[in-house]
Amino acid sequence: MYKLRAQSQRSESGVVVIIMAGGLILVLMFAGLAIDGSNAYLQHRRMQNAADAGALAGARLLARHDTTNQSVLSAVERYVEENGGNVSQIHVEYVDASSRIGKVASYGLDNSPPVSAVGVYVTPTIEYRLFLGGLFGISRKNSSAEAVARVGSTGSLDNNVFPVAVDDDLLATVDPGARIRIWNDDRITDANGNDLNSHRGWLNFNFIYSTDDPNSRTTDSNYSNSELKDWAGGNFSKTVKAGSIGGLDGDFINGDPGVRDSTVLESQARIGDVVYLPIYDTLYSRDFMMENMQPAPNGWWPGGGGGSAYYHIVGFAGFEITEVKHGGEKYIEGRFVNRAVEGPIDGALTAGESLVSVALSDVPPPSRTEASLSGGGGSDSSPIGAGGASGSG
């Protein structure tokens, strides 16, 4: 009787050990799945951040007039690596308006980017270890992500907008880097005083009208010298929206060509700063606005005398203030500079525009040629362990 009872207890103990061992294995499997799943998510987010950063960096270089394919590729590699990517596993292409158009390096590293390129496509890949997969002979896995950043016309700005408008013809004729002088008496000349036959206007940021926003920024038909000085000093808190050349969309800002000695003097504090000048294509009269622009603002349309007009804004220009003269002659001297800001894109680039926007966008399909060569995948990156690592770009 005692022997039977002892044998029964040993049998029950063995069953318990087997159940506990099985339960422990299940716990370890679920823990391994959780660890590998979390790691896979983190690695993908890491690669997505790297792809986003690399694409934006490449697009910012693409926006410059003096860049090379090597500069674009180097910027991508630097930002991908800084965000956890592997420079030996990056695929970089240019994109046009509708598709990917080829690897950056294929255009010649010392050459300028192709004219049709409006963005940069980036796919980084990284290899990471698996916890559970190692038990089944799969100890490593690749993670990748893709991103596209495009360059386009700056659709709007809400900071650092300087209250002087310049016409689009001026930017089409003045090279980036060339110095100009914006005079207090409504002249624009080159640095030697040669007249550039261009008009500038002081802008009334109290009255910014658009057909889709007729009231929120048309708060006052007048503006004081004190307000103009504040705006020139950088105290600007409204959004300016660009429209299309020759259209009636976007913003119309009231302004005039008058003399503003105190504002020129205030600009001395901005020497060395890059400010953003609104670009206009057409000046409209008060009568035109009253007859053609609907809905009308709640208040009174300002203007009607003293050269007051409405400047139709179509873009922005980066302008570095280098000198301010406030003696017998009064002018603000500076040079147009290429700048790319992250923000909304509003269509294709305007001729002469020196301030553009870069933004992440949807990933386009590969070019027809590349799709046929790669079986539709469009990527030349080979997974590690299945043919080796591919080179950059």
Give the tens place of pLDDT for each residue, 306-356.
678 999 998 888 899 999 998 888 999 999 887 777 777 775 555 555 678
What tokens were used for 195? 């007249």
305 against 297, higher pLDDT: 297
Q: What is the phi/psi pair of residue 330, to 5°? A: -130, 120
The pLDDT score that the predictor gives to residue 387 is 29
Q: String of b and e for 328-362 (b: at least 16 CB within 10 Å)?
A: eebbbbbbbebbbbebebbeebbebbbbbbbbbbe
Dihedral sign from CA coordinates of 316, 320, 322, 324: positive
Q: How many CA atoms lie within 13 A of 249 on its CB side?
A: 10
Phi, psi of 159 (to 5 degrees): -155, 155
State the virtual CA torsion across 187, 190, 192, 193 in degrees, nearest 10: -10
pLDDT in tens, 67-103: 899 999 999 999 999 998 888 889 999 999 889 999 9
Q: Which residue has the higher pLDDT, 225 or 383?
A: 225
Residue 326's beta-bridge partner residues?
A: 330
What is the structure's pLDDT at 315?
A: 86
* Angle formed at CA 173 by CA 170 and CA 178, multiple of 5 degrees: 90
Residue 4 is predicted with a pLDDT of 45
| Euclidean distance between CA atoms 320 and 138, whole angstroms | 57
- For tokens 């409504």, the residue is 186
The pLDDT confidence band at residue 126, using thresholds 50, 70 and 90, is: confident
The residue count for the chain: 393
CA distance 115 to 365: 19
User: How much is the average pLDDT of 157-178?
Assistant: 86
Query: pLDDT class for 172, splitting at 50, 70, 90?
Result: confident
For the chain, the first-to-last Cα distance in angstroms comes to: 81
**pLDDT score, position 356:** 81
pLDDT exceeds cutoff 90 at 209: yes
Per-residue pLDDT band at 272 (split at 50, 70, 90):
very high
- Asked if residues 299 and 289 have their Cβ atoms less than 8 Å apart, the reply is no
Write out the DSSP string of 231-295. Answer: HHTT---S-EE---TTSS-S-EEEEE----HHHHHHGGGGTT-EEEEEEEEEEE-HHHHHHH-SS
Across-strand partners of 127?
A: 142
Does pLDDT of 51 surpass 90? Answer: yes
